[in-house]
């Protein structure tokens, strides 16, 4: 059994004590962290997006910060600023909430484009610049952003460059009837107290998991399979913009992470097929003629069908 697989089982067991029906999200959160990338979670309010991320950070023992994005925020509210110390009269750097291992940018599309762009350097370079001074972010570092795509009033849609920084994008929906009964029962058992996950992973174990994922074996035929999948998205007649080369890199990293999470030290085509929709759908920009008046759910379904029918089914798997 790989250490990563063992850790995942332990983390999942701890989180599912409090969150119902989010096993796939937890798996993809861990894959995102181990792939050294970032995740976008879309879904209606009240579906445990924030709670799942918070419990995930607690179970790993990582520093967690939540930023509630609003239209009046400025970049300094995220990265920090220099202020004059009233006692000494000297400039002092105040670091913002971006300085954490796991940063939750809640309702990211409510922030203005200027504020959204403050996340770009941090997400790409693992550093921020405060008035000319560069500050390294802690390791590990990942941004998990949430947004409600159904609510558009007072929001600023993320541009393609910003979307491309998110390695994985996941959608969550309302729970089933039985799951919602379990959720209500869980709150009753907790007596309306906020759940807190126990730390079940130490720093050394997490470091070993990163090392284990990095050493996962990948055949050249798998690399060719990944690149072929990404390249075909650029030639689809239904899209304006396909996936970038960054998508190929992220698909490789996430495939390696999923392999380790599933107790293997090598990648198989099924790993690639599993992560491909999460890596691709938010990077594909449809032509307006394909869906002139569509809800976010309908757009998501169209993109997923394209990925399944026009991408994955057209590219032959290595074995």
CATH value at residue 75: 3.40.50.300
What pLDDT score does 250 carry? 98
Q: Do residues 133 and 24 both lie within one domain?
A: yes
- Rounded mean pLDDT, 161-180: 93
CA atoms within 13 A on the CB side of 261: 26
Q: Do residues 199 and 234 both lie within one domain?
A: no
Examine the fold and report which residue of 155, 179, 214 is the final residue of a domain before the chain moves on: 214
- Rounded mean pLDDT, 80-94: 85
Q: Do residues 157 and 222 both lie within one domain?
A: no
What pLDDT score does 296 carry? 78
Report the C-alpha gap between 139 and 127 in whole angstroms.
Answer: 11
Q: Count of H helices and E strands in the chain?
A: 13, 11
DSSP H helical ranges for 262-295: 269-280
Contact present, 272 and 226 (Cβ < 8 Å)? yes
Closest CA to 303 of 151, 171, 164, 167: 171
Report the C-alpha gap between 289 and 232 in whole angstroms.
Answer: 20
Check pLDDT > 90 for residue 120.
no
CATH number of the domain within which 264 lies: 1.10.8.80
Number of neighbouring beta carbons within 10 Å of residue 100? 21
Examine the fold and report which residue of 163, 188, 214 is the final residue of a domain before the chain moves on: 214
Q: Please provide the distance, in angstroms rounded to a whole number, between the alpha carbons at the two ends of the chain.
A: 24
Q: Do residues 35 and 95 both lie within one domain?
A: yes
234 pLDDT tier (thresholds 50, 70, 90):
very high
Q: Do residues 240 and 194 both lie within one domain?
A: no
pLDDT digit string, tens, across residues 190-229: 998 999 999 999 999 999 999 999 999 999 999 999 999 9
Check pLDDT > 90 for residue 145.
yes
Q: Do residues 125 and 50 both lie within one domain?
A: yes
Q: Do residues 141 and 187 both lie within one domain?
A: yes
Residue 273, judged by CB atoms within 10 A of its CB (0-12, 13-18, 19+), counts as middle
Q: Which residues of 212-227 are buried (b: 16+ CB within 10 A; e: fewer)?
A: bbeebebeeebbebbb
Q: Do residues 230 and 101 both lie within one domain?
A: no
Q: Do residues 151 and 220 both lie within one domain?
A: no
**Tokens describing residue 153:** 């009033």
Q: Do residues 98 and 226 both lie within one domain?
A: no
Examine the fold and report which residue of 156, 189, 214 is the final residue of a domain before the chain moves on: 214
- Rounded mean pLDDT, 137-164: 86
Q: Do residues 67 and 185 both lie within one domain?
A: yes
Report the C-alpha gap between 238 and 222 in whole angstroms.
Answer: 26
What pLDDT score does 176 carry? 95
Domain total in the chain: 2
Q: How far is CA 35 from CA 38, 99, 211, in A?
A: 9, 19, 11
pLDDT digit string, tens, across residues 3-34: 999 999 999 999 999 999 999 999 999 999 99
Number of neighbouring beta carbons within 10 Å of residue 36? 18
Contact present, 183 and 68 (Cβ < 8 Å)? no
Check pLDDT > 90 for residue 119.
no
Check pLDDT > 80 for residue 140.
yes
The residue range of the domain holding 149 is: 1-214
Report the C-alpha gap between 93 and 85 in whole angstroms.
Answer: 9
Q: Do residues 184 and 35 both lie within one domain?
A: yes
């Amino acid at each position: 059994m790989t250490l990563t697989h063992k850790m995942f089982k332990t983390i999942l067991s701890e989180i599912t004590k409090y969150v119902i029906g989010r096993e796939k999200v937890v798996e993809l959160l861990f894959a995102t962290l181990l792939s050294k990338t970032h995740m976008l979670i879309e879904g209606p309010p009240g579906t445990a997006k924030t709670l799942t991320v918070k419990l995930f950070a607690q179970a790993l023992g990582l520093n967690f910060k939540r930023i509630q994005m609003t239209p009046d925020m400025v970049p300094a509210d995220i990265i920090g600023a220099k202020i004059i110390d009233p006692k000494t009269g000297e400039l002092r750097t105040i670091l913002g909430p971006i300085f954490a291992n796991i940063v939750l940018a809640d309702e990211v599309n409510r922030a203005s484009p200027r504020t959204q762009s403050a996340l770009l350097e941090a997400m790409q370079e693992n550093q921020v610049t405060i008035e000319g001074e560069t500050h390294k972010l802690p390791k590990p570092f990942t941004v998990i952003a949430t947004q409600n795509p159904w609510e558009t009033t007072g929001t600023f849609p993320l541009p393609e460059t910003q979307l491309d920084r998110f390695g994985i994008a996941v959608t969550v929906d309302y729970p089933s009837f039985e799951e919602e009964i379990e959720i209500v029962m869980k709150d009753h058992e907790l007596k309306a107290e906020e759940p807190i996950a126990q730390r079940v992973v130490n720093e050394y174990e997490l470091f070993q998991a990163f090392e284990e994922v990095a050493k996962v074996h990948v055949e050249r035929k798998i690399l060719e399979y990944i690149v072929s999948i990404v390249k075909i998205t650029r030639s689809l007649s239904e899209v304006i913009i396909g996936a970038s080369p960054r998508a190929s890199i992220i698909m490789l990293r996430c495939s390696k992470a999923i392999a380790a999470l599933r107790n293997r030290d090598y990648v198989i085509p099924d790993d690639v097929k599993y992560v491909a929709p999460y890596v691709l759908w938010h990077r594909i920009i449809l032509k307006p003629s394909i869906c002139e008046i569509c809800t976010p759910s309908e757009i998501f379904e169209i993109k997923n069908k394209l990925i399944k029918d026009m991408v994955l089914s057209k590219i032959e798997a290595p074995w």
